[in-house]
Each structure stands twice: as structure tokens, then as C-alpha cells.
Amino acid sequence: MKVPGGGRFCTTLFRACYRDTGLRMNSPGFSMTQVRVRFAPSPTGLLHIGGVRTALFNWLFARQQKGVFILRIEDTDQSRSTDESIQAIIDGMKWVGLDWDEGPFRQTERMELYRSHAMKLLEKGHAYWCVCKAAELEARRKEAETKGLSPRYDGRCRNLGIANPSGDAALRFKAPQEGRTVVDDLIKGKIAFDNNVLDDLIILRSNDYPTYNFSVVVDDALMNITHVVRGDDHLTNTPRQIPIFEALGFPVPRFGHLPMILGSDKARLSKRHGATSIMAYRDMGYLPDAMVNYLVRLGWSHGDQELFTRQELIEKFSWKNVQTSAAVFNPDKLLWLNAEYIKTSPPDRVAQALVPFLEGAGLQDEVRAMSADWLAQLVVLVKERAKTLVEMVDWVRPYFGQSVTLDEEAAKKFLSPAMAPILGKLLARFEAFPAFSKQEWEDSFKKFVEEEGMKMGQLAQPVRVALTGRTASPGLFEVMEVLGRDRTLFRLRKGIERASHA
RNA sequence: GUCCCCAUCGUCUAGCCUGGCCUAGGACAUUGCCCUUUCAAGGCAGUAACACGGGUUCAAAUCCCGUUGGGGACACCA
């Protein structure tokens, strides 16, 4: 239930103490508690973009508050956690440039902590042994569901007082059954839950491993997490976790629940909506900065601004401007942003990111033969035409190597026998220049077109095909500049050859 | 079924807290035009939204209630 009069914008006074944590840090008179946040993914697959966005908000807040950002791997699910997934998380975080200050911690390395705290709860009477079998529980849940009842645990072992269970038993937390738990959410405001909807959740499995709802609490408490910021899907876990903090005698952190990312059909984003792994976007030729910009803007805004540097993001971020509703992931806008970043990022950086793609396309020798400066020049040549690095590979291909592969249709259309003598004359003019000069060659070209009584396009297209092999390319004279005098003349001669033998 | 969250153009959003400046602004996509040696990029213009119903008020996108719709959670998953 939404608390009346509470919520996100309740009163100015109230807001001051919970919305603007930034003020707290900066205003004198408040105790300087350092912000400590964490990203706690489970290693059960690839790092997906929703996870990256959660990490991003945490990271932004930590950096802005000069706080600490912790990476914690929640791998207490033995059957689903893998080392490859842990590596995927680390690789993904590094690729988008989200550096952490502590960790990565693995929960499986902290087992004793969970077990000892669980025993503490048992001793204090906050927990009890449950000897119900998993299969029985499952059956009862199904039955309750078909009867239209709540599929909660019925609490049958709660008052049995089992002290030394034989065989496998699980430890359950004695959840409060009365009153209400109020969550004061950073993003959604005050939310109240009636405790009577709570059931006694298992905190220690019969295999001695802790469950999620218990290990998060122990870790968040022990790691002194001040703000637990996670996906919306955890909102209803919060009233289950708060009583555990309390039973353990730990202070309760602030919570913030980020709205979900949806697919085009408004269902929670999943594989069937297309690529969801962050690394898939790297492979599709997206720049990490574009990815970050897109993901942050999906659910957060700063007036009408669309493009942000990382520094701006850190400075301008605030919980107040985080959206409360879910957002549909829009690949078109991401693509536009990527194109924007390709156009405006330093060309040498784009070139650097492009190299692996060129190598992947079989151009490793060609790339090695060229200088970094030339590569950057190449990026400048095609940057407003390629929306991804993958597309850029295709645009850039004609500029490697001495000769060029002619597109058959283009050659047939533009390198006709009738063109041969005209191209020959143009070649002679260019050959007269001892060195390439964009301005001079362009003037000469235009003068030639005029003298011949041609239209610009009539000559430009055949030359374009001769130089690039295709009918679409950047400006002719920029192309020549990147090719250089020798290759320009060489390819022109080859083009004439082809035209005369057509 | 129960509980929780959410609701402005097709999409991301501004505006909502502190009602009037909103004949609702920006961005992506889309349409048309301009520029032009091709392809882009760029420039200009256009189409397009306050879910619905009740209140409160001189005045509601903004506050309250309800309805509808969407999403999430209810595991010895996280």
C-alpha cells in the first residue's frame, strides 16, 4: 500500500532527509557517513544490459558522493553459478568502464559468515528448523495455487521446536506476522507492506547453503552498505529482508528500486527481444560510451539533454530524476546515439576500437601496414556514414590495399568504353601534378568537367567506381587524400583498363 | 488467487512535489523540403500524447478517490 501523504514528493521537510542524499554529504553539520553501494549480480549467464544499468546507477552515485562501489558475486546457487559467468560479469564491467573499489567478493567464500549468523538467529529464537521435504512443499504450493490460495509456506514447523533435526532440515526465519513494514524508497517513496502477507522463508538450505534473501542481508550489513539500489523486481523482497536486518541487530540501509527495462511488447526484456548481453553490443560494434549514455537516459533524465560525458553524468545524476515507471528498450535510439558517438569521439579512439573488427574481417596484415594516424584519418573519412563499427568495416574496406575490388554492376554501368578516353585525359592532368593537393586536384577536376561540357556527376561516378569500386563513397577528393597520389593514379589507370576492355 | 509498483506522442522523456507561464516542450523513429559529385551527415518543416470516470478548485497533465490497462513478486533461484 502506498502510504498516504507519503511517497516521493510528500513534504519538503521529509524530502530533505531522504531524497537528496547529496545534500547530506555536502552540508556542514551532518555526520559524514561515506556512501557505500554495491552491484550484486548472480553468475548464472551473461551480463545483461539491465544489470549494467543497475550497476551504472550505483556507480554514478558512488562516484558523485565520493563513496565506495563494491562488486559482489551472488553465487550461492550451486547448480546455476559458473566461473565463466563470473568472468563475463568482470569483462562486461570493464568494457563499459565501471570500476569497483572493493571486490569482487564471492559469497561462496563467505559461507561461515552466513552460517554463524543463521545460528545466531536460531539461538535468539528468530529462526527454527523445518523438516518439510522440498517435494512436499512444492506439492502443497501447487495445491494452494489451484485452490486460488496464496502459495505461501503454511508455517507447520514453526512451533514444533525441533532442536536437533535428523537428516536434512532447512532453517527458516520467523517472520513477523503483525504490523507493517515501511520501506522508504529512494526512487518510489514510502511503501507499506502488511506483515501478515509474509511467510517464513528459508535462510539456510538443507545443504547448508544460505538462500539469497539471507546472504544479501548478512553481506549488505557486514559490508556496511548504506544504499541498496537494485531492480524493481526486488521491491517485494525488501519487507522480507528488513526484519532480518533487525533480528540480527544491524542498522537497516536505504533502499532504491530501479524500474525494469521492457522489450518492444512491454514484457520484461529477455533474449527473445534480441541481444541482451552487454558483450553482444560490443560485438555488434557499439561504443561503450554510447551504451552508457543510452542506458542511463533510459530511466533518468536531465531536462532535455540527450548527450552526456561521463563527468557530466557523475555531476548531474540524482535519484530525484530517476523515472518511476518501466521503460521500453529502443534499439533505434541506441543506434542513433552510437552514430553520434562515432562522429564526435576522438578519431584515434574510434580507430583503436575499430582495429579488432578489421582484424576479424581478415585485414590484419593491411592494418599492420598502416599507421595509427592514417587509421584515424580513415575514421574521419567515413565516420558520418557508419552507425556501428561493424558498418564502418564495410565502409573502410576499399581503402586498404593497392587495388580495389570492383563491384560488377557499378563497373558495368560507369566504366564503359565511352568513358575510357575521358578518364585517360583526366589521368594525364593528375599525373602532371608531382604531389597530391586536395585543393589543386579538385580545382583541376572541376575545370576539366567544365571544359568537357559534362555534368559533375557524369565524371564523378566513374571516377568513384574506379577509386572505391562502388557507387557510394565519401567525397571524391577526401577519398583521394586518404588513398594518396600513387594509389589514386594506380586505381584510375586500372579503371581505364577495365573501361576500354569492357 | 494474494501483495506491491506503474500510467504524457509509436518509443525515451520534460512538465507533476510547490495547480494558472501547457493552444503540453525536447529526442529517436517517420513524412516532406533544402543542401549535394554518389551515399551519408547536416538544415528546415510536418504528423503524433496528458488511459478512463468521478471529485477538490475560480482554475487540474499537475492534488484526491475509483476503474481499466501494464509490469513485478509470492522457490531449499537470485
Three-state SS string across A162-191, please?
Answer: CCCCCCCCEEEECCCCCCEEEEEECCCEEE
| Cα torsion through A260, A261, A263, A269, rounded to 10 | -80
Cβ of residue A413 lies below 7 Å from strand B: no
> What's the confidence (pLDDT) of residue A432?
95
What is the DSSP-derived secondary structure letter of residue A2? Answer: B
Grid coordinates representing A188 are: 518510489
Interatomic distance A349 CA / B77 C1' (Å):
41
Cβ within 7 Å of strand B: which of A 111-150? 130, 132-134, 137-138, 141, 145, 148-150
What is the DSSP-derived secondary structure letter of residue A202? Answer: E
- d(CA A441, CA A88) in angstroms, rounded, equals 51
Interatomic distance A304 CA / B25 C1' (Å):
9
Which nucleotides of strand B are protein-proximal, with an atom < 7 A from a CB? 1-8, 10-18, 25-29, 36-41, 63-65, 70-78
Cβ of residue A44 lies below 7 Å from strand B: yes
Q: Which nucleotide is nearest to A188 (CA to C1')?
A: B5
Between the two ends of chain A, the Cα-to-Cα distance in Å is 79
What is the DSSP-derived secondary structure letter of residue A298? Answer: S
Cβ of residue A82 lies below 7 Å from strand B: no
Grid coordinates representing A50 are: 539491465
Interatomic distance A63 CA / B63 C1' (Å):
37
β-strand partners of A12: none
- d(CA A178, CA A198) in angstroms, rounded, equals 9
CB A190 within 8 A of CB A183: yes
- What values do phi and psi take at A253, rounded to 5? -75, 170
pLDDT tens string for chain A (502 positions)?
555 443 343 322 232 223 233 333 333 334 468 999 999 999 999 999 999 999 999 999 999 999 999 999 999 998 899 999 999 999 999 999 999 999 899 999 999 999 999 999 999 999 999 999 888 898 888 888 888 778 889 888 998 888 877 778 999 999 999 999 999 999 999 999 999 999 999 999 999 999 999 999 999 999 999 999 999 999 999 999 999 999 999 999 999 999 999 999 888 888 888 888 999 999 999 999 999 999 999 999 999 999 999 999 999 999 999 999 999 999 999 999 999 999 999 999 999 999 999 999 999 999 999 999 999 999 999 999 999 999 999 999 999 999 999 999 999 999 999 999 999 999 999 999 999 999 999 999 999 999 999 999 999 999 999 999 999 999 999 999 999 999 999 999 999 999 988 6
Q: Which nucleotide is nearest to A136 (CA to C1')?
A: B76
- d(CA A454, CA A74) in angstroms, rounded, equals 71
Helix (H, G, I), strand (E, B) or coil at A80: coil
Interatomic distance A306 CA / B36 C1' (Å):
29
CB-based contacts of A75: which residues, under 8 Å, 6+ apart?
Answer: A42, A43, A81, A86, A106, A107, A108
- Alpha helix segments (H runs only) across A223-363: 238-248, 278-283, 288-297, 310-316, 331-344, 347-360
Interatomic distance A9 CA / B19 C1' (Å):
15
| Kind and range of the H or E run holding A411 | helix A408-414
Considering only CA atoms, name the residue closest to the C1' of nucleotide B63: A5
Q: Which nucleotide is nearest to A74 (CA to C1')?
A: B78
CB neighbours of residue A2 within 10 Å = 12
> What's the confidence (pLDDT) of residue A63?
98
User: Residue A369: left if φ>0, alpha if ψ -120 to 50, beta else—which one?
Assistant: alpha
Q: Which pTM does this prediction carry?
A: 0.91
- The alpha carbon dihedral of A21, A25, A31, A32 has a sign of positive
Cβ of residue A388 lies below 7 Å from strand B: no
- What values do phi and psi take at A96, rounded to 5? -85, 0
Q: Which nucleotide is nearest to A135 (CA to C1')?
A: B76
β-strand partners of A268: A262
> What's the confidence (pLDDT) of residue A21?
32
Model ipTM value: 0.95
- Within a 13 Å sphere around the CA of A200, how many CA atoms are in the beta-carbon half? 20
Helix (H, G, I), strand (E, B) or coil at A69: strand
Q: Which nucleotide is nearest to A233 (CA to C1')?
A: B72
> What's the confidence (pLDDT) of residue A476?
97
β A170-173/A127-130 pair status: antiparallel
CB-based contacts of A133: which residues, under 8 Å, 6+ apart?
Answer: none
Interatomic distance A58 CA / B8 C1' (Å):
28
CB A406 within 8 A of CB A469: yes
CB A420 within 8 A of CB A500: yes
> What's the confidence (pLDDT) of residue A321?
96
What is the DSSP-derived secondary structure letter of residue A325? Answer: S
Cβ of residue A54 lies below 7 Å from strand B: no
What is the DSSP-derived secondary structure letter of residue A27? Answer: S
CB-based contacts of A176: which residues, under 8 Å, 6+ apart?
Answer: A195, A198, A243
- d(CA A195, CA A210) in angstroms, rounded, equals 23
Interatomic distance A11 CA / B65 C1' (Å):
21
> What's the confidence (pLDDT) of residue A32?
62
Give strand ranges (E) for A319-440.
327-328
- For the annotated catalytic residues of A, the residue numbers are 271
CB A234 within 8 A of CB A62: no
> What's the confidence (pLDDT) of residue A502?
66
